[in-house]
Structures are given as structure tokens and as C-alpha cells.
């Protein structure tokens, strides 16, 4: 399983059927899946993992399993996957952290690493994220990493807000944060 991204606290790598126990537990959790149309059965979770393998082969990316670097324990998934908006395929940022690991900044860190990958390795000029309007935690992550709301769309039969960020804006926001940190402003 190929490692795609390493951040300060996380390793994001391709998932396989060896990860099915964790993925099935996460996708069956009602709190984790409260903004999705349903929780997933184990069979649906297996299909989910297989679909990621298809994405890796076709696109070179998809949802990656996010593991805590210190413990090796899986905490969720994040990555870049192609989504259809208004009849066009767009690179989309997705992230889902399992409930026991909420409020530790893993979604923000995994998302930032995924955007680094999209902009630096894939040289994608713009990335979108589709977020349900009532999903306040994910909206917060999107804003924190510099994404801005640009519209609405229906995806999988549900209303979603479209957030996006361009490569140049992501690079500029990262440089601003780094400069502020160097000055001690964001300790």
C-alpha cells in the first residue's frame, strides 16, 4: 500500500481490504455518518474500499486511510477524488474522521496535506469540496484551510455547498500562516 502523504502527525496511504474492519466500523457509526444519506453495512464498506482501489488505478488518488504516525492507528480518511458538479468532473477534497478522534485537528491536518498533494504533486489549479449546509464542523475545516463558498449543487440527491480554493490562494494562505507563526502571532 503506497504512502501518499506524511504530515506532522499523520500518514495517508492507500487503503486495502486489510483496513475493512476499521473502515466498516467508521462508516457504520451514526454520528460520523450523520450528514451522509445512510450508515454503511460491512458489505457497502467493502465496496467503498474497492472503489478507492479503482480510483487509485484510474486517477492516481482517492480517499486515503489516515493513520496516527505515533501509534499507527487509523483515525479516518481524506484525499482528492473526482466529483461531478454541473456535468463536469472536478478534483474534490474529502475528509472523514472517526468519532473517537474528533476535535484533535486531524481533519484540518489531513485536508491540508491532501491540498499540498493536489497542488504540488498533481499540479491541479483548483480543488473543490462539497459540504452539506448543516455540517458545521466540515464547514469550519474548509474555512480554516482557506476554502471559500462559491455556490450550491445537488450531489447524491442532497443539497451541498461548493467550497473551493485555487492553488495560488492556498500557497498564499500557507505563507501568511508561516510568517505569522515566525513572528509569534499564532503561537
Average pLDDT estimate for 79-99? 94
Which of 146, 76, 143, 136 minimizes the C-alpha distance to 116?
Answer: 146
Q: Where are the alpha helices (DSSP H) in 2-105?
A: 20-27, 42-59
| pLDDT on residue 183 | 39
**pLDDT tier at 96, thresholds 50, 70, 90:** very high
Q: What is the pLDDT of residues 50-72, one digit of tens each?
A: 999 999 999 999 999 999 999 99
| pLDDT on residue 175 | 57
Average pLDDT estimate for 101-108? 95
- Is the model's pLDDT at 176 over the cut of 70? no
Q: Which fold has domain 3-182?
A: Aminopeptidase (3.40.630)
Residue extents of the structural domains in the chain: 3-182
Average pLDDT estimate for 78-107? 94
- For cell 473517537, what's the residue? 100
Q: Considering the chain, what is the average pLDDT of its residues?
A: 91
- Is the model's pLDDT at 184 over the cut of 50? no
Helices (H) and strands (E) in the chain — how many of each? 5, 8
Average pLDDT estimate for 95-115? 96
Among residues of the chain, what percentage have pLDDT more than 90? 84
Amino acid at each position: 500500500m503506497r504512502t501518499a502523504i506524511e504530515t506532522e502527525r499523520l500518514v495517508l496511504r492507500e487503503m486495502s481490504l486489510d483496513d475493512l474492519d476499521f473502515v466498516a466500523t467508521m462508516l457504520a457509526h451514526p454520528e460520523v455518518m450523520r450528514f451522509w444519506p445512510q450508515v454503511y453495512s460491512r458489505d457497502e464498506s467493502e465496496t467503498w474500499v474497492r472503489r478507492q482501489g479503482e480510483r487509485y488505478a484510474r486517477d492516481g488518488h482517492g480517499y486515503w486511510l489516515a493513520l496516527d504516525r505515533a501509534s499507527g492507528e487509523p483515525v479516518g480518511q481524506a484525499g482528492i477524488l473526482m466529483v461531478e458538479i454541473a456535468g463536469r468532473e472536478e478534483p474534490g477534497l474529502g475528509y472523514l474522521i472517526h468519532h473517537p478522534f474528533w476535535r484533535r485537528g486531524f481533519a484540518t491536518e489531513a485536508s491540508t496535506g491532501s491540498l499540498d498533494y493536489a497542488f504540488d504533486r498533481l499540479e491541479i489549479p483548483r480543488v473543490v469540496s462539497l459540504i452539506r449546509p448543516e455540517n458545521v464542523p466540515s464547514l469550519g475545516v474548509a474555512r480554516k484551510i482557506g476554502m471559500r463558498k462559491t455556490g450550491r449543487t445537488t450531489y447524491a440527491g442532497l443539497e451541498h455547498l461548493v467550497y473551493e480554493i485555487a492553488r495560488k490562494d492556498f500557497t498564499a494562505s500557507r505563507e501568511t500562516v508561516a510568517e505569522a507563526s515566525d513572528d509569534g502571532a499564532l503561537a
